Amino acid sequence: MLVSVLVVAIPFGIVASRSGLSPAESMAMSLFVFAGASQFAMVQLFADHVAWPVVVATVLLINLRHLLMAAALRPYFARVSVARRLAAAFVLTDEAFAMAIGWFRRGRTEIAYYVTFAVALYVLWNTGTAIGMLVGPAIGEPRRFGVDFSITATFIAIVVLGVRRRTDALVAVVAAVLAAALAYLGASVVAVVTAGALAPLLVLATRGEPDA
């Protein structure tokens, strides 16, 4: 799991450096936002010259799920000081959540496990970003080598890897097709992102499938 972080972080560094962002901007995203899918989305939106509130709103929507993850972890941090809890929140990611919740559900209580794992992810994510930024400029003309497609390919891969139920695939296809049609007709990025935000309503229309 730790190595797989590098596998995503290095491409992030490459696409960020190839998309015209400065090294400081690329690095700041990994250091301060520290959210994989959001950072790829940000690079795409910067390339589309979207206004900053749209970027922030998109990131907000992508990361809203952490609200539920933090709520699930909170009971295990009940005896930890507020300052430490707020520090633990900074390094909360899908991966850290998955490892920690598994650990706690096995009856363990040491939060050092979460902290160690989450901080390791943070260090690797930033190391990978830096490596990608160094390698990126060495790759030749982006369009000729299809490098401009790497963000799109990463989006597709993230979505496919996240499919656990049939409705997940349905929602993703509807969101992609709806957004593509809107963009083809010349709609703004705001409309496209809104279409994406509305697509999961389909899930609510379906009867609850058992969790995979």
Contacts with other proteins in 87-146 (CB under 8 A)?
A: 88-90, 92, 143-146
Of residues 37-76, those binding other proteins (CB under 8 A): 37-38, 40-42, 44-46, 51-53, 55-56, 58-71, 73-74
Closer residue to other proteins in complex, CB, 28/123: 28
Least distance (Å) from other proteins to the CB of residue 150? 5
The yes or no reply on residue 29 touching other proteins (CB under 8 A) is yes
**Host H or E run for residue 69:** helix 66-73
Least distance (Å) from other proteins to the CB of residue 106? 21
Least distance (Å) from other proteins to the CB of residue 168? 6
Stretch that binds other proteins, among 32-40, 100-108, 119-127, 130-138 (CB under 8 A): 32-40
Closer residue to other proteins in complex, CB, 2/156: 156
Helix 112-135, helix 2-18: angle, nearest 10: 40
Kindly state the number of chain residues that form the binding site for other proteins, as judged by CB under 8 A: 96
Helix and strand counts by DSSP (H, E) for the chain: 12, 0
Considering only residues 9, 16, 35, 121, which one is a binding residue for other proteins as defined by CB under 8 A? Answer: 35
- C-alpha–C-alpha distance, residues 205 and 1, integer Å: 34
- Provide the 10 A C-beta neighbour count for residue 168: 17
Tokens of 32: 């301060």
Tokens of 102: 């598994």
What region does 186 belong to: left with phi over 0, alpha with psi -120 to 50, or beta? left
Tokens of 92: 């909360």
Of residues 189-208, those binding other proteins (CB under 8 A): 192-193, 195-197, 199-201, 203-204, 208
Query: Would you call 106 exposed, middle or buried from its count of C-beta atoms within 10 A (0-12, 13-18, 19+)?
Result: exposed
Closer residue to other proteins in complex, CB, 13/196: 196
